[in-house]
Structure 1
Amino acid sequence: MANTQRSALIVGASRGLGLGLVETFAERGWRVTATQRSASPALGRLASEAVRVETVDIDDDAAVAALHDRLSGERYDLVFVVAGVATQAHDPLHAVPRAVAAQVYLTNAVSPIRFAETFADRVAPGGTIAFMSSILGSVGLNESGGWESYRASKAALNTYARSFEIRHRAAGFGVLLVHPGWVRTDMGGAEADIDVATSVTGMADLIEGQLGRTGIAYRDYRGETLAW
């Protein structure tokens, strides 16, 4: 009998939303490969027959290629690139050192697409490649300003993802950009609207409903479509 268990590769799962997604998908019976940039005791505690833990820095192309080799033969219904940074996010662009702004752009926009390009051949037919975007990446919805370098990096991610989907349109997988909500994490802060459990439950529901669909969608954790 064919193995019908779904499988996911969650990239950037050492804490917060990534860690919560690993827990949620594992609880739903998925087989999960979870990555960390450096050793995460919280993620390590989840390691089991159903949860495999790997180490990779998405900004390191050689490390990503090595991970691709280590996972030879694996196929995933979901590849979800969660990893991202918000360094000096509250500062206006002119107050952010060029090197910092460039690193935010590389980590949030360039590296996720390069990772997806490397792992596109590992996505099962009808699967999904997801990117952790943000409502702050919406140009049309930006009426309050702020978070300038972070906003720009997520807007760039959205743009790159659309081109990525066009380039791979015949491959048989869908592309999903996800806004997790304003979540009480290290990045979101204590004043955020929702907790991790609410966000990851919604995102998991969204992803499971998206499986089998092609094209690209930009949605929040409740499944609502966002303006580009």
Structure 2
Amino acid sequence: MHTVLVTGANRGLGLEFCRQYAEAGWRVLAACRDPDNSKALHGLAKRHGGLEIHALDVADHAAIDRLAEELRGRAVDVLLNNAGVYGDNDQNDFGSMDYGLWEQVLRINTLGPVKMAEAFLPHVLRGERKLVVAVTSLMGSMADNSSGHSLMYRSSKAALNAAVRSLALDLRPRGVGFLLVHPGWVQTDMGGANAPLQAEESVRGMRQQVEHFDLRHSGEFVNYLGKPLAW
């Protein structure tokens, strides 16, 4: 049985990843900041015995280390870094920037996935798939930025893309792969009700990219359908 560890597992894409992987027969380690208040996640756990729920705030590096220690010796085939925040709003644009919030966005969206990869590398190396996935965004593409704004979110995802690209090169000799995947514009709390894509379809597509991943493509930046995206 393969194992996937999903961050930000309590809602949106994270919850849908947990549902689909659990239904596919995977062991799911579902990590989120406040599991006690996630009825949907607990409902999934009741229906699927292979789903475990763990408390984790990816902004807290000590908490990441504690969870890695708690799961010491266990294999993680796919480490799926899904947790993220947007941060930007109309009161937070250039001229009235909340720099403390910007640092928090970077800590969650950029440092969090890198710290997860670092702390859980021994677990990933024990796994059969040896894959680290980062759910990123086309908004992190500098080539695609034609509308400006969203400084916090754009910069955090651009930095994530750069970091993961480097990790892909650094860890390729150890057989560890990295995948940067853009989920599309999805109807979630972040994406909003006007988004054209349902979480189920987006996650199904991203799971296909995981399923067909090959180490030769480590570090690539693609969308949920596998289309290469500009950096």
- What TM-score, normalized to structure 1? 0.93
Aligned length: 224
Whole-Å Cα distance in 1 between the matches of residues 216 and 70 of structure 2?
Answer: 28
Deviates more, 1:68-77 or 1:162-171: 162-171
The alignment partner of 1:45 has SS state of: helix
Work out whether 1:158 is the aligned partner of 2:179: no
- Give the superposition deviation at 1:148: 1.9
- Give the superposition deviation at 1:213: 5.1
Q: Which residue of 185, 197, 209 corresponds with 1:194? A: 197
1:105 is matched with 106
- Written as runs of structure 1 = structure 2, the 5 A alignment for 1:65-84 is 65-84=65-84
Work out whether 1:224 is the aligned partner of 2:227: yes
- Give the superposition deviation at 1:225: 0.8
Q: Structure 1, residues 93-152: CA drift from partner, whole Å, max 9, x if none?
A: 332211111111111111211111111111124421001100000111111223221011
Whole-Å Cα distance in 1 between the matches of residues 199 and 222 of structure 2?
Answer: 17
Aligned in 2, Cα 1:225/1:58: closer, same or farther, shift over 3 Å?
same
Q: Which residue of 1, 7, 11 corresponds with 1:11? A: 7
Which one-letter code corresponds to 1:14 in the other structure?
N
Which one-letter code corresponds to 1:44 in the other structure?
H
| Contact 1:89–1:149 (8 Å) recurs in 2 | no
Which one-letter code corresponds to 1:24 in the other structure?
Q
Q: Which residue of 38, 46, 49 corresponds with 2:34? A: 38
Whole-Å Cα distance in 1 between the matches of residues 195 and 96 of structure 2?
Answer: 25
Whole-Å Cα distance in 2 between the matches of residues 211 and 81 of structure 1?
Answer: 18
Aligned in 2, Cα 1:93/1:107: closer, same or farther, shift over 3 Å?
farther
- Give the superposition deviation at 1:25: 0.9
Which one-letter code corresponds to 1:74 in the other structure?
R
The alignment partner of 1:21 has SS state of: helix
- Give the superposition deviation at 1:12: 1.2
Aligned in 2, Cα 1:162/1:88: closer, same or farther, shift over 3 Å?
same
* Runs of 4 or more above 4 Å deviation: 211-214
Whole-Å Cα distance in 2 between the matches of residues 16 and 67 of structure 1?
Answer: 22
- Written as runs of structure 1 = structure 2, the 5 A alignment for 1:28-67 is 28-39=24-35, 40-47=38-45, 48-67=48-67
Contiguous gaps of at least 5 residues in structure 2:
none
- Give the superposition deviation at 1:212: 5.5
Q: Structure 1, residues 18-61: CA drift from partner, whole Å, max 9, x if none?
A: 00000011111211111010121111111142111111111111
- What TM-score, normalized to structure 2? 0.92
Which one-letter code corresponds to 1:151 in the other structure?
R
Whole-Å Cα distance in 2 between the matches of residues 148 and 21 of structure 1?
Answer: 28
Greater helix percent: which structure? 2
Greater strand percent: which structure? 1
When the two chains are superposed, the root-mean-square deviation of aligned CA atoms in Å is 1.5
Q: Percent identity?
A: 38
- Give the superposition deviation at 1:211: 5.4
- Written as runs of structure 1 = structure 2, the 5 A alignment for 1:164-179 is 164-179=167-182
Whole-Å Cα distance in 2 between the matches of residues 152 and 75 of structure 1?
Answer: 32
